[in-house]
Amino acid sequence: MSPILLIVFLPLAAAVIAGLSNKTFGSVLPKALTTGALFVSCALSWPIFIQYLHGGGEQTVVPVLNWMTSGSLQVEWALRVDSLTAVMLVVITSVSALVHLYSWGYMSEDPDQPRFFAYLSLFTFAMLMLVTADNLVQMFFGWEGVGLASYLLIGFWFRKPSANAAAIKAFVVNRVGDLGFMLGIFGTYLVFGTVSINEILAAAPGMHGSTIGFLWFRADTMTVLCLLLFLGAMGKSAQLGLHTWLPDAMEGPTPVSALIHAATMVTAGVFMVCRLSPMFETSPVAMGVVTFVGAATCLFAATVGLVQTDIKRVIAYSTCSQLGYMFFAAGVGAYGAAMFHLFTHAFFKALLFLGAGSVIHAMHHEQDMRFYGGLRKHIPLTFWTMMFGTLAITGVGIPAVFGNPTAFGFAGFHSKDAIIEAAWAAGVPSAFWVGVFVALLTSFYSWRVVFLTFYGKPRWAGSEHIQHAAHDAHGHDSHHDDAPSAEDAGYAPDAHHAAHDDHAHEGTAGYHPHESPWAMLIPLVLLSIGAIAAGFVFHGFFIEAEEGAHFWNNAIAFDAHLMHAMHEVPLWVKLSATVAMLLGFGGAWYAYIKRPSFAGAVASNFRVLYTFLLNKWYFDELYNFLFVRPAFALGRLLWKAGDEGTIDRFGPNGIARLVQLGSVGTARLQSGYLYTYAFIMLIGLTAALTWVIAG
């Protein structure tokens, strides 16, 4: 049997068995089955990836079955394997296997563990189907599969109203993007007469300059198709406008956050754009839109991440921002750099999410960083792994300048700096400056998480210091007010903090942080290796002109000239991201270590801006006003005036009323007297004779 068949279908088999058996065999067997299946898939994926690294891999297609035939439409179910697929196989199976193992510890007290692990494996299968698709219909199958599985995972704690709401929101927002994706697939089939990816990409350059009727006008064919397809990518990868579901998805268990929002579902849009890159290359307008949306998302999410106090939401907005980097890299033609950042991001973002889960586990499910502080001494291994993740995402490294022949640094240093340099080399200075500025913001909010969580005085209720402070605060009748303060900005003086919503956080009273079990720590250690070394080890294969062209081998529209130009940019361009990273680190250190009151002072002095960012640019409120409230109003109108007031009134209820009235009238004719019946018969006979004579 082909290894690719085992890689794809083992998670499905494990999900089906674990899901159908449910609690019949307890929790251990379903967990062992699903986790074992993922580690086998992972073990089979790495040799395929290494084979492509060494230039020994060619594109192969493994047929599964003849899926559907309708007229001229023929869809085969086949698994496509090339270097792009190999990258995604490694990312998906590695992260998913470690998330499965991590969940043994994190979900150990949950009564529905078999269902949870079945959902995890089902999600992994759907994502594997997406990245191995040989045609657009098969890709759409995987696309919708991860949407369904994400709905199940985000709403796993279905008794929690906020989790249900977040799952529905993710599902609905993604339907908007998926409508564009479906229209793009329909249009592509209309234009090319096939859904085969190979045939479409081969024919795409020949469609340059052609037009197609769309809505009420004619437009460039490839621009229309690419923009419709990109709309699907915007929904799945949470780009600006269709991003609102991503932070709310944090309502699901933390392993779900790592699986969906670090390495798999949200990267599906980036993968799709890179897979169809020869199509996008034919439309400068579409490329410009991808660049603009990616850069705008990058900037938006980074600004919102500056002020969040929920540790998972900070990382969620960080994910949104990093996806923006990937898209504007694709938009300027640096598809290799986009995939390189996707690859490295999978390791350090999964590490940060799972590290945050370890912190939350240590803090008795508390997620508010204002109730952390001084934890590095209590959970040292978690601290160091999150430190590696932070060094990776902020891009700490030594550039290849001043006689240093080779750049060396953590994973994000190689991939994010490559994107920024590629933007300059491609002649898109606006994207370059956005990338540099966001690098500064990324460094600031990432180190803010580290400083608030692991440094400073303990602000958690189990601390003796806090208990005295809380007593003092209550004695002086302290309370939380609505004005932006140091607490709101992410740092709280002890007394003020301890007096804030004590009843909401009473679960941490008398509780002392402790390190997580080894089932959770082992994945953190392994992901740390990726966060440290993935960039330095693999950068040549992804972005170097000669090595990259050899590795990608036409799997994407790899521009060797752009990659070469990227290394020839001016010195100040090479240093810009590193300088931005250092400025962000210095700002966070000053605001949260050197002068802790500074953050609160800034929030108070710039209250309008702070409130604007705290409310996430008011996108949710705007959408609620423009779409949600009108939709509910229309629904109520159709329900009350349409369904009940019209259809039921004149339909079922109206007919029933007529029958009732008719029954009452006819019942009165049944008097039981003979002369009454004779009189009625006479009237009827007279009426019949009159009709005959008159006719």
491-521 pLDDT, tens digit each: 443 333 333 333 334 444 456 788 889 989 9
Whose tokens are 């392993």? That residue is 255
Q: What is the pLDDT of residues 282-324, one digit of tens each?
A: 999 999 999 999 999 999 999 999 999 999 999 999 999 999 9
Task: Return left, alpha or beta for 479; rule: phi > 0 is left, psi -120 to 50 is alpha, else beta.
Answer: beta
Across-strand partners of 21? none
What mean pLDDT is predicted for residues 666-672?
Answer: 74
What mean pLDDT is predicted for residues 436-458?
Answer: 94
Q: Do residues 425 and 569 touch, judged by C-beta distance below 8 A?
A: yes
Residue 507, pLDDT score: 44
Read off the pLDDT band of 647 (50, 70, 90). confident
Q: Do residues 330 and 338 touch, judged by C-beta distance below 8 A?
A: yes
Query: Which are the contacts of 344, defined by CB distance < 8 A and separation ≥ 6?
Result: 392, 411, 412, 414, 415, 530, 531, 534, 535
What mean pLDDT is predicted for residues 16-20?
Answer: 91
Q: Which of 128-132, 243-247, 442-446 has the lowest mean pLDDT?
A: 243-247
Read off the pLDDT band of 462 (50, 70, 90). low
How many Å is the Cα radius of gyration of the chain? 30
What mean pLDDT is predicted for residues 10-34?
Answer: 88
pLDDT at 26 over 90: no
List Cα–Cα distances, 311 to 25, 167, 357, 590, in angstroms: 36, 20, 9, 20
Look up residue 570 and give its DSSP letter: -
Residue 230, pLDDT score: 95
Q: What is the pLDDT of residues 208-257, one digit of tens each?
A: 888 888 878 888 999 999 999 999 999 999 899 898 888 888 888 888 88
Q: Do residues 436 and 577 touch, judged by C-beta distance below 8 A?
A: yes
Give CA 21 to chain center in angstroms: 29
Query: Which are the contacts of 467, defined by CB distance < 8 A and separation ≥ 6?
Result: 461, 498
Kindly report the pTM of this predicted structure.
Answer: 0.87
What mean pLDDT is predicted for residues 511-540?
Answer: 90
Residue 478, pLDDT score: 33
Distance CA 4, CA 59 (A): 13
Distance CA 671, CA 416 (A): 94
CA atoms within 13 A on the CB side of 233: 32
Higher per-residue pLDDT: 645 or 543: 543
Highest mean pLDDT among 45-59, 188-202, 454-468: 188-202
Backbone angles phi, psi at 427, to 5 degrees: 80, 35
Torsion of CA 311, 313, 316, 321, to 10 degrees: -100
Look up residue 238 and give its DSSP letter: T
Distance CA 161, CA 573 (A): 48
Read off the pLDDT band of 549 (50, 70, 90). confident
Residue 503, pLDDT score: 35
Burial string for 472-483 (b: 16+ CB within 10 Å, else e) reads ebeeeebeeeee
Residue 260, pLDDT score: 81
DSSP one-letter string for 149-202: HHHHHHTSSTTSHHHHHHHHHHHHHHHHHHHHHHHHHHHHHHHHS--BHHHHHH
Q: Return the amino acid letter for 515.
A: E
Residue 472, pLDDT score: 36
Whose tokens are 């329909």? That residue is 186
pLDDT at 57 over 80: no
Helix (H), strand (E) counts: the chain? 31, 6
List Cα–Cα distances, 625 to 230, 355, 615, 620, 632, in angstroms: 26, 37, 15, 9, 11
Q: What is the pLDDT of residues 171-210, one digit of tens each?
A: 999 999 999 999 999 999 999 999 999 999 999 998 888 8
Whose tokens are 């001016």? That residue is 570
Across-strand partners of 75? 68
Residue 32, pLDDT score: 93
pLDDT at 480 over 60: no
pLDDT exceeding 90 applies to what percent of the chain?
54
Q: Which of 93-97, 271-275, 657-661 has the lowest mean pLDDT?
A: 657-661
Residue 80, pLDDT score: 94
pLDDT at 133 over 90: yes
Look up residue 647 and give its DSSP letter: I
pLDDT at 467 over 80: no
Vertex 615: Cα angle to 612 and 621 (nearest 5): 110
pLDDT at 574 over 50: yes
Written as six digits, the tokens of 85 are 């697929």
Q: Do residues 360 and 366 touch, judged by C-beta distance below 8 A?
A: yes
Enumerate long-range contacts of 658-667, CB under 8 Å, 24 or more apart. Answer: none
Residue 405, pLDDT score: 56
Distance CA 548, CA 544 (A): 5
What mean pLDDT is predicted for residues 51-59?
Answer: 81
Whose tokens are 């705290």? That residue is 614
Q: Which of 318-327, 358-367, 479-488, 635-644 has the lowest mean pLDDT?
A: 479-488
Distance CA 331, CA 325 (A): 10
Q: Which of 427-431, 488-492, 586-590 has the lowest mean pLDDT?
A: 488-492
What mean pLDDT is predicted for residues 565-589?
Answer: 93
Residue 263, pLDDT score: 59
pLDDT at 490 over 60: no
Residue 510, pLDDT score: 52
pLDDT at 332 over 50: yes
Average pLDDT in the chain: 86
Q: Which of 155-159, 628-632, 650-654 has the lowest mean pLDDT?
A: 650-654
Query: Which are the contacts of 512, defined by CB distance < 8 A and separation ≥ 6?
Result: 378, 462
Residue 493, pLDDT score: 37
Distance CA 512, CA 464 (A): 10
Distance CA 421, CA 502 (A): 49
Residue 469, pLDDT score: 38
Read off the pLDDT band of 477 (50, 70, 90). very low
Residue 460, pLDDT score: 77
What mean pLDDT is predicted for residues 55-62?
Answer: 82
What mean pLDDT is predicted for residues 616-631?
Answer: 91
pLDDT at 474 over 80: no
Across-strand partners of 220? 211
Q: Which of 50-64, 254-268, 439-453 has the lowest mean pLDDT?
A: 254-268
